[in-house]
Amino acid sequence: MSWELLLSLLALCALLALVVQLLRFLRADGDLTLLWAEWQGRRPEWELTDMVVWVTGASSGIGEELVYQLSKLGVSLVLSARRVQELERVKRRCLENSNLKGKDILVLPLDLTDISSHEAATKVVLQEFGKIDILVNNGGKSQRSLCVETNLDVYKELIELNYLGTVSLTKCVLPHMIERKQGKIVTVNSLLGIIAAPLSSGYCASKHALRGFFNGLRTELTSYPGIVISNVCPGPVQSNIVKNALTTEVTKTLGSDGDQSHKMTTSRCVRLMLISMANDLKEVWIAEQPFLLMVYLWQYMPTWAWWITNKLGKKRIENFKKGLDADSSYFKTWKTKHD
């Protein structure tokens, strides 16, 4: 075979490989490291058994689905949020659908903004189970309002709940993990902790702050390789987050979910979270296209990212003002074409 033919064949193979990777990226619903871990990495079913896992925001959405999937792995669970009745409902469903017994699940009401209660809550968990293997900082709220129309109290609430509440609980649990030289602190951040979007400036700020805090904390724990700090950054996922989103006043929530069909299913998001936890990934991006592409652009091509964000952002505000879900109408067409 001549050198020319060999080189042409190699070039063709490289081109084919590139096309295949591009097609895979178009269908991806997580960053490429995460999807690699899903394919070749450790399985949650092997790695996450016999653990004590404390989940905040367990009464709804991502946290609720997470405890259902964790209960099937046979872990002991601590369910926290403010609404006890909802937590009891979630506990009952866990018991119905898994081999766990009542004593394996502790319902522990907790308000993340009431930081004076966090130390006592941590003691209760340690008294009950003797250890905390994984803390999942998941409880939080979003925002749908323009900065210029929004009361400062909304910004305070988002920082106190999403940021300070999470930092406070982490600080209560961390000494225990340091003593044992092991543990995982998994924080449900958001793509909006990396990128930005209109109508969510306070939410973006709280999630960017969280990412900075946990990235900083990780650098302080290099002497404890057994303690894993993990930032999970989902894009839009089906839950009650939009319904509960704060608007212009701290007492006002959006009150309706809107159309959620363009969002990732809660079960898929949680499965990818479990894979991340089993493989000790430091940061994962969980989102379907085109949200995933946006975060890659923000990370690697910020000038392009700003150009697109400004165009889409304008549309997002228009949608919102018409009473539509901020994202659904303009991404729906794209998603339908690729399903």
Name the region of 116 (left: φ>0; alpha: ψ -120 to 50; beta: rest). alpha
Query: Measured from the CB of residue 222, what is the shortest distance to ligand NAP in angstroms?
Result: 27
Name the residue nearer to ligand NAP (CB basis): 223 or 237. Answer: 237
Determine whether 330 is an active site residue: no
Nearest residue (CB) to ligand NAP, 59 versus 98: 59
* Residue facing ligand NAP at closest CB distance: 61
Are 27 and 265 spatial neighbours (Cβ–Cβ below 8 Å)? no
Minimal distance, residue 160 CB to ligand NAP, in Å: 8
Q: Residue 327 CB, nearest distance to ligand NAP (Å)?
A: 10
* 3-class DSSP state of 34: helix
The token pair at 296 is 């890659």
Q: Output 116 or 219, the one with its CB closest to ligand NAP.
A: 116
Tell me the closest approach of the beta carbon of residue 11 to ligand NAP, in angstroms: 41
Residue number with CB closer to ligand NAP (42 or 211): 211
Q: How far is CA 168 from CA 117, 126, 220, 242, 323, in A?
A: 10, 17, 17, 25, 36
257 secondary structure, DSSP code: -
Closest CA to 136 of 65, 40, 47, 212: 65
Give how far Cα 291 sits from Cα of 67, 154, 171, 189, 308, Å: 26, 26, 32, 15, 12
CB of 111 to ligand NAP, least distance (A): 4
Listed residue (99, 109, 13, 121) closest to 50, CA to CA: 99
Nearer to ligand NAP, 241 or 326 (CB): 241
Given the rule CB under 6 A, which residues bind ligand NAP?
Answer: 56-57, 59-63, 81-83, 86, 110-113, 138-142, 161, 188, 190, 234, 236-237, 239-241, 244
Nearer to ligand NAP, 129 or 291 (CB): 291
Q: Which of 205, 337, 188 is nearest to 276 (CA)?
A: 188
Among the listed residues 203, 224, 300, 330, the single catalytic one is: 203
Which is nearer to ligand NAP, 182 or 267 (by Cβ)? 267
> Degrees (nearest 5) of the Cα angle 242, 247, 252?
95
Tokens 């409880």 correspond to 139
Shortest gap between Cβ of 326 and ligand NAP (angstroms)? 11
**CA–CA dist 55, 274 (Å, integer):** 13
**Alpha-carbon distance 230 to 186, whole Å?**
5
CB of 91 to ligand NAP, least distance (A): 13
Q: Which helix (H) or strand (E) holds 285?
A: strand 283-286
Give CB contacts under 8 A, 24+ apart, made by 207-210.
207/162, 209/159, 209/163, 210/162, 210/163, 210/166, 210/167
Main-chain phi, psi angles of 30, to 5 degrees: -160, 165
Q: Which residues are catalytic?
A: 203
